[in-house]
Chain A
Amino acid sequence: MNWVDREILERFRVGDEGAVKAVYERFRGPVFAIALSILRDRELAADATQQTFMKAWRAASTYDTERPFKPWVYAIARRTAIDIYRKASRVVASDQIDGVTSPPGLETAYEVFEVRAAIDELPDEERQVIKLSHFDGLTHQEIAHHIGIPVGTVKSRSHRAHQRLLGLLRHLEEM
């Protein structure tokens, strides 16, 4: 899925505020996710997120709107986070030879970006169950108690949510 209409991109290229906001709203989650996974620091990740959108806007005039936008944003976000990581590493360890340091979260950066993008597409109730199950580590029983719904509903919702998530991440299997 390309996620952003070509017209939005055309307006983004000329600095239309509505289009800039649209692109930001659409990609802020995945961009911040990849930045945080690489940098492990919310402040640096926020800086990387801002820089990513600034770079995208500056480079938008060279972007081919016939090509999918999401991989293009991903590439900018990844590069930006790596650059910030290396700069931060130099400050922390000034005696280290710079330029060769690779952040630890780089191997799964693409998957992090795609998983967050998929999460953003889930219906709210399914996203909630997945978050409570994985991030918060709750059992179905605990989720049922937390949300206030029958445990059977949690089970069916969890099944549906994971099924949908797998469908949204199907393209990762082809890599």
Chain B
Amino acid sequence: MAEDRIEFLASGSTSGEKPADHERLEMIRAILDDESVWSEPPHDVGDAIIEAISQEAGPGRLSQNPSRSRWQWAAAFAAAAALALVVGLTGVLTGEPDEIVVAMEGTELEAAAAGEATLRPTGDGWWIGLQVSDLPPATEGTYYEGWVWSDEGDGVSIGTFHLRGEGESVVLWSGVDPANYPMVWVTLEDEDGDPSASDRIVMRGRIPDDQLR
């Protein structure tokens, strides 16, 4: 990437000629100056959406985990487990400090499975890259779910995947501190709407104590 473009985006000027796309860069600079891209919606908007969907869907339609309060966002973000696609993100985030690497091994259900979970802090949580080998694609009607688990027995979902045609790398996300949730599990789940973890643990790993901050 041309240094002059980086310089122009950062400062609005360059030591040499303006980049060819300086107008676009100026527009991005103007957007970065504006409060709209830095603002967050009020905290109650998320609650209101869930409430509205719940009402509109009718009783029992909106599946949820009764053991958790409705919008405990820190845990919920992880429980929601948005799966950012691997495309691009891996390259973007390589080389970050504070990386934690967890060796993953298959349980008796998938003894041949092996892999590695890499945890990197982001601004609002933890990016978790999961590399696995010899874990078969989840069959139709099932999927895999990643979890971080505390020593007290509390698990938080970090995302779902099925490995059907998507390679052996997935990106997961956690909103909870790994220091409190040092174990990483992968379970096999049925598509039955039950948000709780099944007892079919197929892979597990634990953050080494010397990597916990």
Contact = CB atoms under 8 A, between A and B. Distances in A.
Q: Do A and B bind each other?
A: yes
Interface of A: 1-5, 7-8, 11, 14-26, 28-29, 31-34, 36-37, 42, 45-46, 49-50, 53-54, 57-58, 105, 108, 111-112, 115-116, 119-124, 127, 130-131, 133-135, 137, 158-159, 162-169, 172-173
A172 B9 CA distance: 14
Contacts of B112: none
A18 B53 contact: no
Nearest to B160: A7
A159 B11 CA distance: 10
B82 A165 contact: no
A22 B81 contact: yes
Interface in B18-50: 21, 24, 27-42, 45-46, 48-50
Interface of B: 1, 5-6, 9-10, 21, 24, 27-42, 45-46, 48-50, 52-53, 56-57, 61-65, 71, 73, 76-77, 79-85, 87-89, 92-93, 96, 121-124, 143, 157, 159-162, 193, 195
A164 B123 CA distance: 15
A49 B42 CA distance: 10
Contacts of A168: 92
Contacts of A137: 33
Contact of A32 (B40, B63, B87): B40
Given A15-B62, A168-B92, A115 B49 contact: no
Contacts of A42: 39, 42
Given A36-B39, A135-B35, A135-B38, A28 B46 contact: yes
Q: What is the predominant secondary structure among interface residues of chain A facing chain B?
A: helix
A115 B37 contact: yes
B130 to A, nearest CB: 13
Nearest to B53: A57
4 shortest interchain CB distances as A-B pairs: A5-B83, A22-B80, A124-B123, A21-B80
Contacts of B88: 1
A130 B124 CA distance: 16
A37 B34 contact: yes
24 contacts: A7-B162, A8-B80, A14-B193, A15-B63, A17-B195, A18-B81, A20-B62, A21-B76, A22-B80, A24-B80, A25-B76, A28-B40, A28-B45, A31-B41, A32-B40, A33-B36, A42-B39, A57-B53, A105-B36, A108-B27, A130-B32, A165-B9, A166-B9, A167-B1
B89 to A, nearest CB: 7
